Amino acid sequence: MLLFTEYELWQRNELDLFNLSEVPEFLYKEAVGEGNRYLNYDWPVLTASMYTDAHSGAFCDNYLMRRKALASLALAEHAERKGRFTEDIINGIWCICEESTWQLPDNSGALRDSENPRFDVNSARTAALLAQAVQLFRKELPVVLKKRVVYEVKKHVLTPFADARQLTPENMAHTLIACMFAEPDEEKRRLVVDKTLAALEILLGEYTQDGIKAKSEQSLYRWSAYIFDILEILYNVTDQKFSVYSDEKVKFVADSIYKAHLGSDGFSESVTEEDGARIYLFGKRMDYKKLMDFGASEFLKISEKSLPQSTNLFHKLYSLKYASEIAQYGDNFDEQECGYIDNMDLFVKKTKDFSVAVKGGASAAGNFMAYLENEPYVVDLEKSHNLPVINGFTQFSDTKKAFVEKMENGLSIDLTRTYPKDAGVISWMRSVEAEEKYVIITDDYELEKLEDLKIIMIMKNKPILSDDRILIGDGAIVWDGNLALRVELVKSKSYDYVYRLVFHVKDTSLKGRVRIALKKS
């Protein structure tokens, strides 16, 4: 249990994260340079007509630009401490406090009731940003402005949070930050902490009991990192007395972060530029070298490019605070690993060439993704997977009935009961085996009827068709059996466009085998 009652909760004058003793020169220049872009900033207008015309996107664009500008100005002033950005920071805080709502518009086209705000993640993000800005510059900002921020944060977030039910690690982390810096009442702060920990206990149970099956894999990195944010905030505001980093449920969350990672943009969701320093510190708090290695590696891959471009000031501060330490720690992460993650129904094999993730008995059983030399190769879409389409039928959305056999280098999955009865499947066994230089996908099937049979494979990069193979980047695809190929260009949220390879089985036998192999060129 994540119990908090025995700890004294108090409002610190400074979080350790806010004390910057040594910032690398390139990050200092980046922070100040980004702030310079917003000197004498003409803050974007937000109007009622823009709000009701949600489809135009104008309100959302200006809303986010205000927050990005404030976060950049605050970080620049915090790094430089010369007062050059203070007036613009004051103007930005004032503009956001004047907004009638911190919720983004929905498709209804209706204005929000400013007297009865609803708790949501965008409001929580805004509250956290304002609260941190006030905390960073509490000596420089006018008293009346600081009081205004406290009033607005309570109105838009802390008060509606008391009745909120749809809680996620992200919106709770933002709320907790806002509460620590904007709520002076000890009892009210403790109520927010108690509710957060109660909800977190439930979420951690879902992670460890049902794994990511109960959620989307796309939540993995984001949720795990925000869980760390919650624990880190409480660790700091109790003077490092509240620590649950040895809890088995927390260990599972940490373990999942790097185990399910495949390459440059993760498995299903990116490890973003915000995450490296946080993951490194997560590992450090837990004395977990593998996680420290992973976080440092991810941070060092992007740290020479730029600071995080988000509006999350808390995460920007991580990058400044720990950049020198991580640079000294170095990149020691070894991606090569192999194993089945039971609570995620996921087999992962990582090598220097091919890295593969194969879904087991959960949703989209038998689906897989592959990375080649740390870059996406075979990818996945939300509504189209790398799976057979049998007589016009795709899998059930819930495929818990799939039987999984673990192999040394892959999985064998019984897909027989994962398709509707009308698909006419007597038996279907799929195996995915991975080695460093190749991946083999084998489908053995027996059908009651054969009207149309396709094997789908979605590629990140454009294929070049040859006589007996497909060339894609530094790899190739070859196959056994009588197959015809069609290539479809498909729009994707993650990659703009991807290429769906449709292998049509020309053999009319009711019993057969299809084998497709990915090979390193």
Q: Could you write out the three-class secondary structure of 85-99?
A: CHHHHHHHHHHHHCC
2 in a structural domain:
no
Same domain, 273 and 343: no
Q: Give dist(CA 140, CA 256) in Å, integer.
A: 42
Last residue of a domain, which of 286, 302, 329? 329
Quick one: pLDDT at residue 322? 87
Q: What is the pTM of this model?
A: 0.79
6 in a structural domain:
no
Domain region containing 386:
337-520
- End-to-end distance of the chain based on CA atoms, in angstroms? 52
- The low-confidence residues of the chain, meaning pLDDT below 50, are 1, 12-13, 211-218, 266-271, 273
CATH number at residue 407: 2.70.98.70
Q: What are phi and psi of 282, to 5 degrees?
A: -55, -50
Q: Give dist(CA 16, CA 248) in Å, integer.
A: 26
Structure tokens belonging to residue 32? 């100040």
Same domain, 234 and 164: yes
Helices (H) and strands (E) in the chain, counts: 14, 17
Q: What are phi and psi of 519, to 5 degrees?
A: -130, 145
Strands (E) in 152-192, as ranges, are none
Q: Give dist(CA 172, CA 214) in Å, integer.
A: 19
Same domain, 180 and 289: yes
CATH number at residue 132: 1.50.10.100
Q: Give dist(CA 75, CA 137) in Å, integer.
A: 11
Quick one: pLDDT at residue 179? 93
Report the number of distinct structural domains present in the chain: 2
Position 404: which residue type?
A: V
Report the candidate in 368, 418, 362, 417 with the shortest Cα–Cα distance to residue 210: 362
3 in a structural domain:
no
Same domain, 130 and 277: yes
Place of tokens 């195996």: 431
Across the strands, what pairs with 375?
372
- Nearest-5° Cα angle at 225, 8 to 302: 130
Class of residue 411 by CB neighbours under 10 A (exposed 0-12, middle 13-18, buried 19+): buried
Same domain, 180 and 325: yes
11 in a structural domain:
no
210 in a structural domain:
yes
203 in a structural domain:
yes
Q: Give dist(CA 299, CA 327) in Å, integer.
A: 9
**Helix ranges (DSSP H) in 81-168:** 86-97, 121-136, 143-153, 159-161
Same domain, 263 and 118: yes
Same domain, 325 and 342: no
What would you measure as the largest C-alpha separation in the chain, in angstroms?
81
- Residue 245 has, within 13 A of its CA and on its CB side, a CA count of 21
Same domain, 342 and 311: no
Same domain, 378 and 268: no
Quick one: pLDDT at residue 270? 42
Asked if 161 and 171 touch (Cβ cutoff 8 Å), the reply is: no
Structure tokens belonging to residue 319? 């990058």
Quick one: pLDDT at residue 214? 40
Three-state secondary-structure class, residue 368: strand
Judged by phi (left if over 0) then psi (alpha if -120 to 50, else beta), residue 465 lies in beta
Q: Give dist(CA 39, CA 33) in Å, integer.
A: 10
Asked if 318 and 31 touch (Cβ cutoff 8 Å), the reply is: no
Q: Could you write out the three-class secondary structure of 339-363?
A: EEEHHHCEEEEECCCEEEEEECCCC
Asked if 124 and 157 touch (Cβ cutoff 8 Å), the reply is: yes
Same domain, 487 and 387: yes
Cβ partners under 8 Å of residue 116, min gap 6: none
- Nearest-5° Cα angle at 114, 111 to 116: 110
Structure tokens belonging to residue 202? 């439930």
Asked if 367 and 387 touch (Cβ cutoff 8 Å), the reply is: yes
Cβ partners under 8 Å of residue 467, min gap 6: none
Strands (E) in 379-474, as ranges, are 388-390, 403-407, 410-414, 425-434, 438-447, 453-459, 464-465, 470-472
10 in a structural domain:
no
How many C-beta atoms surround the C-beta of residue 496 within 10 A? Answer: 7
Three-state secondary-structure class, residue 120: coil
Asked if 126 and 171 touch (Cβ cutoff 8 Å), the reply is: no
Last residue of a domain, which of 272, 302, 329? 329
Q: Give dist(CA 52, CA 401) in Å, integer.
A: 46
Rg (CA), the chain: 26
- Nearest-5° Cα angle at 119, 253 to 139: 85
> CA 279, 273, 54, 89: dihedral to nearest 10 degrees?
100
- Residue 414 has, within 13 A of its CA and on its CB side, a CA count of 10
Structure tokens belonging to residue 118? 């609803």
Same domain, 347 and 324: no
Same domain, 367 and 303: no
7 in a structural domain:
no
Q: How much of the chain is helix, strand and coil, in % rounded to 5?
A: 40, 20, 35
Last residue of a domain, which of 306, 329, 352? 329
